Amino acid sequence: MNEQIIKRVERALAELKAGKLIIVADSVDREAEGDVIGLAEKVSAKNVNQMVTKARGLLCVPMGAEVAKRLNLGLMIPDSSDAFGTAFTTTLDAKTTSTGISAFDRADTIHQLANGTSTWDDFYHPGHIFPLIARKNGIYERQGHTEAAVDLARLAGASPVAYICEILKKNGKMARRKDLKAIAEGNHLTLLTIDEIIAYRRYRDAQPIQSITTVSLPTRYGDFTLEAFDTGDDSEPTLLISKGHLAGDEPLLTRLHSECLTGDILGSKRCDCGPQLQEALRRIQRNGRGAVLYLRQEGRGIGLANKLKAYALQEQGLDTVQANQHLGLPIDNRNYEIAAAILKRKGVSKVRLMTNNPDKIHQLAEYGIQTTERVSLEVGLTPENKNYLLTKKTKLNHLLSEVGN
């Protein structure tokens, strides 16, 4: 974990807890915009006024789903067509306000939303404040400002409610990444990116990896050893499927394989996942030594339900990247820190990596595992997945020579 990121995020958390504002920028692959963010329980009329006069976007209040449930706040429109899946609820004002629109009234409403004893009856409906509901797993699930703000509130040990406002430039256009640094410096605000918050959450959430059990695994591809690891996140165990002695100076033939129920189990032709897993096992069997890390990151990390929703959008003409973006989900939310930790535990520091995805090589390097050779794994090309693979090549930079341009 980069020490500078840790210090930057912890400085921002300290400022939030002190009642100050910060700026958070999202990915250039998403909106490439910045929001001013504060903790709802630390809100002040001065900060609200600074938001609406300096940032000039729409003032909203992101909150954890449990808060929205307590307040009986439902979605403004059940079947929203918002391009990024922002979960707006019905609007409101605290009943202690007058018109509800002044900076003082809005600060009052925001503060009461962070009050753990407030209920639906404490507010007028509709009103001038726009609550937003964050996804359950925060920025792991959706890399938006809603989730980033609530995650920061949780990391700060505060009520999971924040207030945010998009930043517009003086000419009325959105402030993009290149503008945000100057705006942050000019207003003496700390600037974070959502990627930095994700990295910090992974650093904070990291749990000691525990081996659950080890068994023999005879398969149609060969005889292997299967070891299950508890990674401390209440999900299904990460699996190590291996053959031979893993530790040593000789690089280990390795595959990092993200779970794909439709491809691995059902034999779907929409992807190349199943054939890649099968071929990796065959090669390890022939080599006499190697490992597959089977990672529970269905749908490039968005989960099975969201993957199937993305499939439905692909049937309407979107490609795999556009479908994720339409759902407000990250294009690729996978992380290979757990894989690197398991390899290190097994005494592996160098690998010959079976992959077409250069991001796996880069991430392993960040976590201290050297890839001495990339072993191409171009298998499973079908008429049904040709466009899918082409999108991975052109938009996700996968190294696929057998797919056209």
CB 305 within 8 A of CB 311: no
The reply to whether 298 sits in an annotated binding site is yes
Structure tokens at 150: 């609530």
The reply to whether 276 sits in an annotated binding site is yes
Note if 359 is an active site residue: no
Instruction: List the strands of the sheet with 162-167, edge to edge.
Output: 92-94, 123-133, 56-63, 162-167, 34-39, 22-25, 191-193
The reply to whether 259 sits in an annotated binding site is yes
CB 142 within 8 A of CB 197: no
The reply to whether 146 sits in an annotated binding site is no
Distance between CA atoms of residues 245 and 238, nearest Å = 20
The reply to whether 320 sits in an annotated binding site is yes
The reply to whether 382 sits in an annotated binding site is no
The reply to whether 258 sits in an annotated binding site is yes
Helix (H, G, I), strand (E, B) or coil at 77: coil
Note if 179 is an active site residue: no
Distance between CA atoms of residues 193 and 30, nearest Å = 12
Helix (H, G, I), strand (E, B) or coil at 390: helix
Q: Which residue in 135, 270, 334, 352 is the catalytic one?
A: 334
Structure tokens at 323: 């479908």
Q: Which residue in 26, 35, 151, 332 is the catalytic one?
A: 332
The reply to whether 56 sits in an annotated binding site is no
The reply to whether 300 sits in an annotated binding site is yes
The reply to whether 271 sits in an annotated binding site is yes
The reply to whether 360 sits in an annotated binding site is yes
Cα distances (Å, whole numbers) of residue 212 to 223, 231, 286, 292 = 20, 10, 28, 17
Binding-site residues sit at 255-260, 271, 273, 276, 298-300, 320, 355, 360
The catalytic residue positions are 332, 334
Binding-site residues for GTP sit at 255-259, 276, 298-300, 320, 355, 360
Binding-site residues for Zn(2+) sit at 260, 271, 273
